[in-house]
Amino acid sequence: MIRRVLVLLTFLALALTSAAPAGASVAAPDGTGAERAAGLPSKATWLRDVDRSLSGSRGFLRRRAAAAKPGERLAVVLDIDNTSIASHYAWPRPVKRTRAFARRAAALGMTVHFATGRTRAQLEGVPEVLREAGYRYRGICVRRSPSEPLQASKLRCRKALERRGFTIVASVGNRLTDLQGGHTGRRFKLPDYGGRLS
């Protein structure tokens, strides 16, 4: 009888220690509860996807720099949020693979420029964040107003660079609107998971 009681008590103790508290959400291995609710993967999965998206970029930059014409001013254009800075997963930390891309471009004599969907009012503190994250860049082109379509804003920024005499050799962004409309050079599309990662 005593033995049966001990077995029952052991079973109850195991059940209580393994149960989650009432109302608690249990995260899947791939992503936090909040990320799963938003349909987003874990940070580790996102970083692997970023690495795949920029695969071959170093070699491309090297070849493009070697093919530059005398006096040609080569430039790369980067988006900021969730492209250069891990805005969702680790603000204000850099996306290291994108930073490596920017540093490689600069080492090859290219200039680095940002085109962001933020308006000037939304840009407060961002230049400091970029510098602290290790980016060295020529300028940031912003959205004129919240009513300016994102694609039109990014295209306007790229065209403005070309008018200033730059040749855009590559553009990096995580949304299609970062890369549509031409004047991009080679496009490196980072993950946005069907628009769920802004």
The proportion of the chain whose per-residue pLDDT surpasses 90, expressed as a percent, equals 80
Average pLDDT over residues 67-88: 98
Strand arrangement of the beta sheet that strand 139-143 belongs to = 139-143, 111-119, 73-78, 166-173, 186-189
Residue 32 pLDDT level (bands cut at 50, 70, 90): low
Topology (CATH level 3) of domain 48-189: Rossmann fold (3.40.50)
pLDDT of residue 4: 44
Average pLDDT over residues 138-166: 98
Instruction: Work out whether strand 166-173 and strand 139-143 pair parallel, antiparallel, or are unpaired.
Output: unpaired
If you ran DSSP here, which 8-state letter would residue 166 be given?
Answer: E
Average pLDDT over residues 33-44: 79
If you ran DSSP here, which 8-state letter would residue 105 be given?
Answer: H
- Break the chain into its structural domains and give their ranges: 48-189
- What are the strands, taking DSSP E only, across 18-151? 73-78, 111-119, 139-143
Q: What is the pTM of this model?
A: 0.82
Provide the residue type at 37 as one letter.
A
